[in-house]
Amino acid sequence: MLNFERLSRGYDMAAATLLEEATVNGHWEGELSSSPLSTATAIAALQLVVRNQPQRATEFEALVKSGLKWLLEHQNPDGGWGDTTLSHSNISTTTLVYSSFHLAGYDEKSDKVSMTAKAYIDRQGGFDAIRKRYGKDHTFSVPILTQCALAGLISWHELPPLPFELGCLPHWFYRWIHLPVVSYALPALIAIGQVRHYLAPSRNPFIRLIRQAAVGPTLRRLEVIQPESGGFLEATPLTSFVTMSLAAMNQADHPVARRGIEFLKSSVRADGSWPIDTNLATWVTTLSVNALRPDSLSKAHAEAIAGWLFKQQHRIVHRYTNAAPGGWAWTDLSGGVPDADDTPGAILALLKLNPQSSLVTPSLNAAIKWLLDLQNNDGGWPTFCRGWGALPFDRSTPDLTAHALRALYFWREKQIHDGVDTEESIRGLISRTDRAVSAGFAYLARRQRSDKTWFPLWFGNQFSPDEENPVYGVARVLAAYRDWNRLNDPVPQSAIAWLADAQNFDGGWGGGKNTPSSTEETALAVEALLPLKRYEESCDRGLEWLLERVESKTFQNPSPIGLYFAKLWYFERLYPIIFTVSVLARAVEQANQTRTESPGSTYLKEGAAIPSGHGKRT
């Protein structure tokens, strides 16, 4: 059994590391990994602007050269590139990097880097492998192939035309048609669809006329939905694809292109690289708050964080996704979009912070209503838009559903604890919550796979089969069952057994069975198993694995487990720190409680909820 003093000391060390990462304003910004894919798309966009406007060559020369140099330094031994500096090579990123070098004048017949990159692409099946990787989802395959066509590597007629004319339609109409791109990709649909039409128009005169008539209106819509920062979703790849498409159709001076260029110039890093997104400030802030023990934050720090979070809540209809007021995005920047992962995170954080502010009740109630309104008919929660079900990133997903269920639990408990559940408006929300929760757990039961796991949408593992991450998925879903005191149900019991069996010989966990252990996945797995006495030995081994890394300060080393849009890998420097703090906080609190109730025992009775400072428990 682990020594309590060592456990407490480990938490204090990890928490101090996390608290040191907070900004002067109290919240966290974190740091996303530099991305070969983002870097390749950014320098391709800038080169295509220069092709259209040669007089700007001097303006972008240093950016392009430093970006190409960074890519040269991070080519993998197999000739390819991965999405991060820690990632395996893949066909998508390698193709984008190769086309960027081609635009810069590199040639596989005379240049070694291009030669080895082209050899990697050929081994993967050539450019056709891009189509095979994404199937019917054109969200990322068509932009990649568009950059290839702009570099002269393939014919325009090898690309399926995107129906950009649909950008003229009202947003609500999209859920009734099966778009070939996901809901968040409207800028790419418009810009890439237009450049394809511009350079290789349809042979059908009727379709050609319709599309020509739609050019002006859809460009105006693109301008309306572009955020103040110029970065669509604050994402370098999406912004780059839009910018290069406009430049290729002699629209480099269009307001959207100009703002896109400024975004790219402002988001480049000192080493010449670009990240996939500017930051995940709201996400890592709520994760940090929810990980820390309540007494780790001073009253002033807690109030500062709460005030900052209140400011990030979206209070008007979002012009990009038409999301209703009440939700939170992953970032505090203008390109963020409210979603069903960051909104539950913010609800949980504000409930834990419990600020003395008149904003608390209306803010949380609006957020709960926002979540309830977003729930799909299948009982699960999607990321951005209700009712979009044609492609994976628009469907309900277990990890988001579990997060929403947790937020609903703690909000409901607060209403009962504070005695406001007698108010008619609150009774109505509680009634809706109860129905939503029943539907949500029914959805999770249906979505449990035959091996008793759940796969998350936004996280993966490059060492697991099909790059899935069942450890993350199971851990996140079990958290919802734990909070609602349902761990003894048959559905979670089978998942618990799978998770315990996935532990590696060294005491840690990876993304699945027989995958290398990581700080992130070990912390998540142990936290999921902590309430269960029969897994005391497994938890001790996992905590020992983590404590050794905290004590040697290697727990801060991140792993590329994050998945961005279209399975684009990233790592966030704060993830291993936050997840370690979270599990050690729970272990310390659990040990504190059981030392008082049952001297000599470390674990709660099986199935009981773990206190975490959120409010009254049932």
Q: Are strands 34-35 and 274-275 parallel, antiparallel or unpaired?
A: antiparallel
Nearest CA to 48 out of 207, 301, 252, 323 is that of 252
459 DSSP β-pair partners = 562
What is the pLDDT at residue 608?
42
321 falls in which pLDDT band (50, 70, 90)? confident
Nearest CA to 436 out of 479, 374, 382, 360 is that of 374
C-alpha Rg value of the chain to the nearest Å = 25
Overall average pLDDT of the 475-482 stretch:
98
- The C-alpha atoms of residue 88 and residue 380 are separated, in whole angstroms, by 32
Overall average pLDDT of the 10-37 stretch:
97
607 falls in which pLDDT band (50, 70, 90)? very low
Q: Which CATH architecture has domain 1-21+455-604?
A: Alpha/alpha barrel (1.50)
What is the pLDDT at residue 212?
94
Q: What is the pLDDT of residues 142-168, one digit of tens each?
A: 999 999 999 999 999 888 888 888 877
Residue 615 has pLDDT above 50, yes or no: no
What is the pLDDT at residue 2?
81
DSSP state of 33: P
Residue 183 has pLDDT above 70, yes or no: no
Residue 338 has pLDDT above 80, yes or no: yes
Overall average pLDDT of the 228-247 stretch:
96
284 falls in which pLDDT band (50, 70, 90)? very high
- The C-alpha atoms of residue 499 and residue 452 are separated, in whole angstroms, by 9
Residue 31 has pLDDT above 60, yes or no: yes
DSSP state of 235: B
Predicted TM-score (pTM) above 0.85: yes
174 falls in which pLDDT band (50, 70, 90)? low
The answer to whether the CB of 352 falls within 8 A of the CB of 614 is: yes
The answer to whether the CB of 324 falls within 8 A of the CB of 172 is: no
Average per-residue pLDDT in the chain? Answer: 91
What is the pLDDT at residue 171?
64
At residue 479's C-alpha, the angle toward residues 476 and 484, to 5°, is 140
3-state secondary structure at position 275: strand
Residue 389 has pLDDT above 80, yes or no: no
- Window from 427-431, 472-476, 593-597 with minimum mean pLDDT: 593-597
287 falls in which pLDDT band (50, 70, 90)? very high
Overall average pLDDT of the 76-89 stretch:
96
For 324, what's the count of Cα atoms within 13 Å in the CB-facing half-sphere?
12
- The C-alpha atoms of residue 274 and residue 225 are separated, in whole angstroms, by 23
Q: What percentage of the chain carries pLDDT values higher than 70? A: 92
- The C-alpha atoms of residue 576 and residue 554 are separated, in whole angstroms, by 10
Which are the contacts of 149, defined by CB distance < 8 A and separation ≥ 6? Answer: 155, 156, 158, 159, 199
For residues 209-220, b (16+ Cβ closer than 10 Å) or e, as one string?
eebeebbeebbe
Domain positions in the chain are: 1-21+455-604, 34-275
Residue 26 has pLDDT above 60, yes or no: yes
What is the pLDDT at residue 320?
75
Cα dihedral value 389, 186, 241, 256, nearest 10: -160
What is the pLDDT at residue 609?
42
The answer to whether the CB of 169 falls within 8 A of the CB of 322 is: no
- The C-alpha atoms of residue 184 and residue 190 are separated, in whole angstroms, by 12
Burial class (CB in 10 A: 0-12, 13-18, 19+), 604: buried
CATH of 34-275, one of 1.10.3720.10, 1.10.730.10, 1.50.10.20, 3.30.300.20: 1.50.10.20
Give the CA distances from residue 550 to residues 3, 523, 591, in Å, rounded to whole numbers and listed in that order.
Answer: 15, 12, 19
- The C-alpha atoms of residue 381 and residue 294 are separated, in whole angstroms, by 29
Fold matches, 1-21+455-604 and 34-275? yes
Q: What is the pLDDT of residues 351-386, one digit of tens each?
A: 999 998 888 999 999 999 999 999 999 999 999 888
Q: What is the pLDDT of residues 110-144, one digit of tens each?
A: 688 889 999 999 999 999 999 888 877 777 889 99
Residue 222 has pLDDT above 80, yes or no: yes
Number of H helices, E strands in the chain: 22, 4
Which are the contacts of 18, defined by CB distance < 8 A and separation ≥ 6? Answer: 288, 291, 292, 574, 577, 578, 581
What is the pLDDT at residue 176?
55
The answer to whether the CB of 70 falls within 8 A of the CB of 64 is: no
Overall average pLDDT of the 504-512 stretch:
97
323 falls in which pLDDT band (50, 70, 90)? confident
Residue 73 has pLDDT above 80, yes or no: yes
Q: What percentage of the chain carries pLDDT values higher than 90? A: 79
